[in-house]
Structure 1
Amino acid sequence: MKYLFLSLAIVLEVVGSSFMKSSHGFSKLLPTVITIVAYIACFFFLSQALKFIPLGVVYAIWGGLGIVLTAVISVVVFREPVDIPTIIGIVLIVSGVFVMNFFSKSATH
């Protein structure tokens, strides 16, 4: 259940970020409302995950996967370009999350 909460938080964060771009600076009502609702729900589920998983682990996974998924959405939906430094940076972030989760003794969960 703890990873379901974390997964929902990640998906809702990506939804919120995507609709924030679509809101054009909060000038369009529906995307703005979706952004606000998605972020409120995101933080609710993030808080539920934090009951069971250490903060550092939750934040690393949430942030890392959120970055990757948001980057994918930006390319696929918004047709925004990515370059090699962006890809390298994302790979480094994901690598850090992997190392933390699978090799760290202090990030037990």
Structure 2
Amino acid sequence: MATYPGAMRKWALLAAAILTEVTGTLALRAFQDHSAFLAVVVPGYVLSFVFLANVLRTGMPVGVAYGIWGACGTALTAVLATLIFHDPFTAPIILGIGLIIAGVLLVEFGSHNAAEAPAAGETA
């Protein structure tokens, strides 16, 4: 990972998108018990998409950004829902999260290989 400020900003925006989406999702679950949590659900999702749009403006490929956002959001939501709401966290859930993360890593590595490969008709 590069250490220049643009790369740090890109990853900070992506982390913010993930955290606000997870907050919105957990608030959606809490809304089932307390209607006041609706005040967190909508802003959480709106902010998440605003941050994600800004990640895309930094030049991160949409497949990579969305994949990381989705995978990390899914994993973090599952863990926190277990801790906060006592949702199940079984071996199949753990395996599923691992497969999602593996898929995102393949997309990430594939995007780097595609960016580095010469275009059709060009020589390296």
What TM-score, normalized to structure 1?
0.88
Q: Which residue of 2 aligns with 1:22?
A: 30
- Higher CA-based Rg: 2
- For residue 94 of structure 1, the aligned residue among 74, 98, 101 is 101
**Partner SS state of residue 77, structure 1:** helix
* Residues 24 and 42, structure 2, Cα contact 8 Å, conserved in 1: yes
How many residues are aligned here? 106
Higher relative contact order (CA 8 A, sep 6+): 1
Unpaired stretches in structure 1, ≥5 consecutive residues:
none
1:69, CA displacement in angstroms? 0.2
Extract structure 1 runs of 4+ deviating beyond 3 A: none
The alpha-carbon distance between structure 1 residues 56 and 17, as it changes in their structure 2 partners (threshold 3 A), is same
Distance in 2 (alpha carbons) for counterparts of 1:103 and 1:77: 36
Q: Which residue of 1 aligns with 2:50?
A: 44
Structure 1 range deviating more: 81-90 or 67-76: 81-90
Q: Aligned ranges for residues 28-67 of structure 1 at < 5 Å?
A: 28=35, 30-51=36-57, 52-67=59-74
* Residues 63 and 107, structure 2, Cα contact 8 Å, conserved in 1: no
Q: CA RMSD in A?
A: 1.8
What TM-score, normalized to structure 2?
0.78
Amino acid of the structure 2 residue aligned with 1:46: L
Q: Deviations over 1:31-82 (max 9, x none)?
A: 1011111111111000000112111001100000000000011111111112
- Say whether 1:106 aligns with 2:121: no
* Percentage identity across paired residues of the two chains: 35
